[in-house]
């Protein structure tokens, strides 16, 4: 079918995927046994088989898109370990380890460090609390860094030094969106989608100035963790329930790839939370 759009417009909306390398951790011991965010209610049962099936479908989606997925060995007693994004931040082959806010997840940090060391990376152990890519989002050459609930603002400077990238600090204000990756989706090196209301007025201003073309998600789409998305520059893997956001990103030339992660949502996580990107 010939496009009715002028060539210049079409070119601007054609998106190119680049192959990615991810680390994921199977939800073998996944459960909701404590409450460290408003999504987690230990009285609501978790269907572990369903969680595993949903997670496997997410991994298969990445493989079908041509990406590499390495696995981290799950450990008993760490029910949130499936949320691999929180374990480290990797930019240009430099690895900043995580340091978790809550004792329930503290031991995950060492498992990630060990994995990266075994894979031949030089790793830096964090001095300040940072929850990996939950709060440190790489957008092109900069890192957007969240604080307010988990990551210590002092960790932003540490991340800038260790990762060798400028960092833009943003303050989260709504406990439902406790990690930056629940309030901002990185679509490519210059494009983001976000929920303005999740940020302090000053941080909203910074985002608006830095990304004047940012896609604004509806509260309804953000409330199903629609912004917890993983993009390869063209395909955007996001929670299936975020139908409005899928349309918005499609209008910008991205290809939405919906996945159902409803069991993992019971712990306050989605696709991005399960996916740690290794940027060599």
Q: Could you give the residue numbers annotated as active site?
A: 179, 273
Which one among 236, 267, 276, 278 touches ligand ARG, defined by CB under 6 A? 267
Per CB under 6 A, the segment of 183-191, 196-204, 238-246, 261-269 that binds ligand ARG is 261-269
Residue 59 three-state SS: helix
Per CB under 6 A, the segment of 62-70, 82-90, 188-196, 236-244 that binds ligand ARG is 82-90
d(CA 171, CA 187): 20
d(CA 93, CA 164): 11
Percent helix, strand, coil in the chain, to 5, is 35, 20, 45
Q: Is 182 in the site for ligand ARG (CB under 6 A)?
A: yes
Site string for ligand ARG, 94-113 (x = CB under 6 A): -----------x--------
Which one among 167, 170, 269, 277 touches ligand ARG, defined by CB under 6 A? 269
CB 162 within 8 A of CB 136: no
Lookup result for tokens 């929180």:
86
Q: What is the DSSP string of 113-174?
A: HHHHHHTT--EE--SS-B-GGGTEEEETTEEEEEESSSS-HHHHHHHHHHHTS-EEEEEB--
Site string for ligand ARG, 212-251 (x = CB under 6 A): ----------------------------------------
Smallest separation (angstroms) from ligand ARG to the CB of 8: 38
15 or 178, CB closer to ligand ARG?
178
Q: Is 268 in the site for ligand ARG (CB under 6 A)?
A: yes
Q: Is 86 in the site for ligand ARG (CB under 6 A)?
A: yes
Which one among 15, 20, 179, 266 touches ligand ARG, defined by CB under 6 A? 179
Which one among 23, 25, 37, 51 touches ligand ARG, defined by CB under 6 A? 37
Which one among 22, 30, 55, 83 touches ligand ARG, defined by CB under 6 A? 83
Q: Is 181 in the site for ligand ARG (CB under 6 A)?
A: yes
Per CB under 6 A, the segment of 51-59, 60-68, 196-204, 262-270 that binds ligand ARG is 262-270
Total binding residues toward ligand ARG, as defined by CB under 6 A: 16
15 or 134, CB closer to ligand ARG?
134
d(CA 126, CA 171): 20
Q: Is 80 in the site for ligand ARG (CB under 6 A)?
A: yes
State how far the alpha carbon of 55 is from the alpha carbons of 28, 58, 198, 199, 267, in Å: 10, 5, 27, 29, 14
d(CA 228, CA 174): 15
d(CA 172, CA 157): 17
State how far the alpha carbon of 14 is from the alpha carbons of 22, 114, 182, 252, in Å: 24, 39, 26, 9
> Alpha carbon 206 to chain centroid distance?
20
Contacting residues toward ligand ARG, per CB under 6 A: 36-37, 40, 80, 83, 85-86, 105, 134, 179, 181-182, 267-269, 273
């Amino acid at each position: 079918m010939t496009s009715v759009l002028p060539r210049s417009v079409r070119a601007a909306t054609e998106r190119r995927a680049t192959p990615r390398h991810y680390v994921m951790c199977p939800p073998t011991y996944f459960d909701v046994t404590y409450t460290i965010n408003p999504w987690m209610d230990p009285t609501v049962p978790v269907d572990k088989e369903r969680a595993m099936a949903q997670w496997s479908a997410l991994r298969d989606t990445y493989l079908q898109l041509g990406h590499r997925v390495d696995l981290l060995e799950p450990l008993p007693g760490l029910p949130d370990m499936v949320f691999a994004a929180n374990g480290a931040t990797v930019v240009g082959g430099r690895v900043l380890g995580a340091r978790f806010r809550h004792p329930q997840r503290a031991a995950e940090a060492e498992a990630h460090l060990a994995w990266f060391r075994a894979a031949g990376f030089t790793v830096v152990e964090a001095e300040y609390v940072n929850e990996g890519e939950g709060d440190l989002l790489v957008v092109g050459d900069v890192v957007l860094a969240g604080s307010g609930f988990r990551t210590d603002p002092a960790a932003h400077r540490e991340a800038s030094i260790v990762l060798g990238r400028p960092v833009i600090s943003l303050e989260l204000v709504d406990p439902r969106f406790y990690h930056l990756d629940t309030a901002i989706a990185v679509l490519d090196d210059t494009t983001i989608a976000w929920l303005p209301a999740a940020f302090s007025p000053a941080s909203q201003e910074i985002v608006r100035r830095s990304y004047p073309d940012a896609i604004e998600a509806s509260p309804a789409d953000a409330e199903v963790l629609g912004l917890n998305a993983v993009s390869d520059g063209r395909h955007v893997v996001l929670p299936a329930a975020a139908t409005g956001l899928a349309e918005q990103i499609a209008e910008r030339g991205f290809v939405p790839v919906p996945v159902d992660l409803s069991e993992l949502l019971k712990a306050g996580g989605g696709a991005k939370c399960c996916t740690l990107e290794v940027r060599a």
